Amino acid sequence: MYQIFNGDCLAQLQNIPDASIDMVLTDPPYSSGGLFARNRKQDTRTKYCSKEYEGAARFQNFSGDNMDQRSFTAFCREVFTQVRPKVKEGGILGAFIDWRNLPAMTDALQMAGFLWLGIVVWDKRTSRPTPERFRNDCEYLVWGSNGPRPAPMVKGCKVAAGCYSVPGVQSKEKHHQTEKPVPLLEQLLQLVPDGGTVLDPFMGSGSTGVACMNLGLDFYGIELDPGYFKTSQERIEEAEF
């Protein structure tokens, strides 16, 4: 089962039943893409796409990616605050971010009332050359729980890795400028109980929904952009059958 909504997540969250979600897995706009404020104000095609031919630059820009760090923290805090009543006691919130706004994301999760439980590393196996610097090969999933999360060490309990090495989506295969690979999302969803329910309030092109259909999980998704919403609808419907 899946239900998806086109609109602002703060308005559309009212359609999600309280205490119904086992895991929120989401990829909000990073408001990143540069070392200085002027770089972050550029459109997402300029910031995240390196070429026109078969590159992700063929997709429309997405909004919400031009905030300074203070505004970004406040925005994520507000969204996560509205999300928390939808999550079951002990349920998980996981949100992707890069190194630039990693501190803001960890703050926002805690300010919204979730218990911060760690950071999962995603090794993308690719990055731009950075002379005289360490390469920025990784992005991160900041995660926590809605109240204490039971962790009994019993036979058959689920234990998920803290680091994943999964190639990013090739540009010619993308449906979105900053798309996450479905195999990575499927691995991150392994802590969801069988037949559980997942929410993505920043659905993008629907990759989390596709992963849920592949795993037999129920899914709620919200996407602001009508074009990306249509793409999500088509991809999730295809994955369901």
pLDDT at residue 98 in the model: 93
For residue 44, give the DSSP letter.
H
The span from the CA of 139 to the CA of 30, in Å, is: 11
Q: State which amino acid sits at residue 236.
A: I
This prediction has a pTM of: 0.85
The span from the CA of 238 to the CA of 214, in Å, is: 10
Q: Tokens 């369901």 sit at which residue?
A: 240
pLDDT at residue 170 in the model: 79
The span from the CA of 181 to the CA of 186, in Å, is: 9
Please state which CATH class domain 2-240 belongs to: alpha beta
Residue 128, class by beta-carbon neighbours within 10 Å (0-12 exposed, 13-18 middle, 19+ buried)?
exposed
Cβ contact 236:209 at 8 Å: yes
Question: What's the number of CA atoms in the CB half-sphere (13 Å) around residue 232?
Answer: 28
- Tokens for 46, please give them: 């300029």
User: Domain-by-domain residue ranges, the chain?
Assistant: 2-240
Q: Tokens 């596709």 sit at which residue?
A: 210
pLDDT at residue 75 in the model: 93
pLDDT at residue 176 in the model: 60
Query: Tens-digit pLDDT profile for the chain (241 aa)?
Result: 999 999 999 999 999 999 999 999 999 998 875 555 556 556 555 545 555 544 555 655 555 567 788 999 999 999 999 999 999 999 999 999 999 899 999 999 999 999 999 999 999 987 777 789 888 899 999 999 999 998 888 888 889 999 999 997 777 777 766 789 999 999 999 999 999 999 999 999 899 999 999 999 999 999 999 998 999 999 999 998 7
Q: Which residues fall within 8 angstroms of residue 154, CB to CB, at 6 or more apart?
A: none
